[in-house]
Amino acid sequence: MGRLCIGSPLIFIRRKHLVTWQIPEGDIDVLSVGEALVDFISIEAVDRVEQADGFHCYLGGSVTNLAANVARLGGQAAVAARVGDDPFGRFVRREMERRGVITDYLKTDVATHTTLAFITRSAATADFVIYRGSDTCLLPKDVPQAAIERARVVHTSVFALSQESSRSAVLDTLRRARARGCLISLDPNYHPRLWDASRPAAEVLAEACRYVDVVKPSGDDCRRLFGAGTSVTDCVRHFHDWGVKRVVLTQGARGISIYEEGQLVHVKSRDVPVTDATGAGDAFWAGFLVATLDGRSLYEAVLFGREVAEMKVGTVGPIADTLDKVAIYQRIAAARSGT
């Protein structure tokens, strides 16, 4: 077991600086668009995938994990993705339904296999091997306008933008979601090993970010996207130049930096025990979006996301099937009041 530093409060945003999110009504709180797959996480903690003696399988995919966590928090979440017509695809659908995720837009592709990911259990950055399949085959028609009209938030990932035809499907979805007025969030979980050579990553991200309200890069994401020596300021500047006004940068032991409308808030890190860090970012995203939909400020949403992420890193695989949202808010309030 390792330890992970996750942000705790340092500076509070003054109320006059808070920006109100304009979010439409709808019966789907979060529509996640992108990848649905199976994660095989090593039973023991190892450095490399080939060192593992065995794996446990879990529902996987960044946007899918987020949707499952939103459902655990009592929200209405749907996933638009493709799985194969195989046992793994049926596993994905069953696990989504068991967790209360809406599967109306989960398509079965008879021409390819379900995407599989083999990942090391790790307290830090995990090693992985991914066998791409159905996740890359998403089409614009798989995300009907009716789904976007139902959604309050549309969330996607750079993973889903990494290859065609899912790239075109996601960009088309973002354009339509922007026209509808949805809040749009993007996980910039870029890795060069996953990117095809048809278009440069920076070019695709620049196009996608024109539609995006908020991104949450990690330190690893920034280094992979912009270079090993990229500073916090430079990372945020890149996203701002692409049109994103709100950036939440998670930096491990260095804490979390929040940028909104020219305001900077930094939250210091705190030490928590870690069993497995895989999925911590997805848990953070889910908490962040749920709190945002509850009308909380950007800063308060970050604190809520932190609480959910802390619950995730304490276990291998998914967190508990239900999460007590009221209790989480109470813990945050108690911490801020010093009680």
- Per-chain mean pLDDT for the chain: 90
Cα dihedral 67/220/191/165 (nearest 10): 40
Alpha helices, H only, 99-165: 145-150, 158-161
Concatenated DSSP letters of 64-77: HHHHHHHHHTT--E
Tell me the angle at which helices 280-293 and 298-313 cross, rounded to the nearest 10 degrees. 140
Domain definitions of the chain by residue range: 2-12+22-337
Q: In this structure, are residues 171 and 161 in contact, taking their beta carbons and an 8 Å threshold?
A: yes
User: Would strands 28-33 and 246-250 be described as parallel, antiparallel, or unpaired?
Assistant: unpaired
With cut-offs at 50, 70 and 90, classify the pLDDT of residue 11: very low
CA–CA dist 143, 156 (Å, integer): 12
Closest CA to 211 of 239, 184, 233: 184
CA–CA dist 19, 193 (Å, integer): 37
Q: What is the pLDDT of residues 229-260, one digit of tens each?
A: 888 889 999 999 999 999 999 887 778 889 98
Concatenated DSSP letters of 196-264: -SSS-HHHHHHHHHTT-SEE--BHHHHHHHH-TT--HHHHHHHHHHTT--EEEEE-GGG-EEEEETTEE
Strand order in the sheet with 128-131: 55-60, 37-45, 116-121, 128-131
pLDDT of residue 20: 58
pLDDT of residue 315: 82
Q: What is the pLDDT of residues 51-101, one digit of tens each?
A: 999 999 999 999 999 999 999 999 999 999 999 999 999 999 999 999 999
CA–CA dist 308, 96 (Å, integer): 19
67 Cβ contact partners less than 8 Å away, ≥ 6 residues apart: 30, 32, 77, 78, 79, 96, 101, 286
Closest CA to 321 of 101, 6, 51, 114: 101
User: Would strands 77-84 and 55-60 be described as parallel, antiparallel, or unpaired?
Assistant: unpaired
Q: What is the pLDDT of residues 206-225, one digit of tens each?
A: 999 999 999 999 989 999 99
Beta-ladder partners of 181: none
The mean pLDDT value for 302-307 works out to 92
- Strand, helix or coil at 127? coil
Instruction: Detail the DSSP E strand segments found in the chain.
Output: 2-8, 28-33, 37-45, 55-60, 77-84, 106-109, 116-121, 128-131, 151-157, 183-187, 214-215, 246-250, 256-260, 263-274
Closest CA to 224 of 248, 247, 190: 190
58 Cβ contact partners less than 8 Å away, ≥ 6 residues apart: 38, 39, 40, 41, 95, 317, 318
Q: In this structure, are residues 205 and 221 in contact, taking their beta carbons and an 8 Å threshold?
A: no
Q: In this structure, are residues 308 and 282 in contact, taking their beta carbons and an 8 Å threshold?
A: no
Q: What share of the chain is helix, strand, coil (3-state, %, to 5)?
A: 40, 25, 35
CB environment 289-319: b (16+ within 10 A), e (fewer): bbbbbeebbbbbbbbbbbbbbbbbbeebbbb
Q: What is the pLDDT of residues 45-64, one digit of tens each?
A: 999 999 999 999 999 999 99
- CATH fold, domain 2-12+22-337, is UDP-N-acetylmuramoyl-L-alanine:D-glutamate ligase (3.40.1190)
pLDDT of residue 19: 55
What token pair was written down for 73? 């928090």
Give the CA angle between residues 191, 196, 199 to the nearest 5°: 105
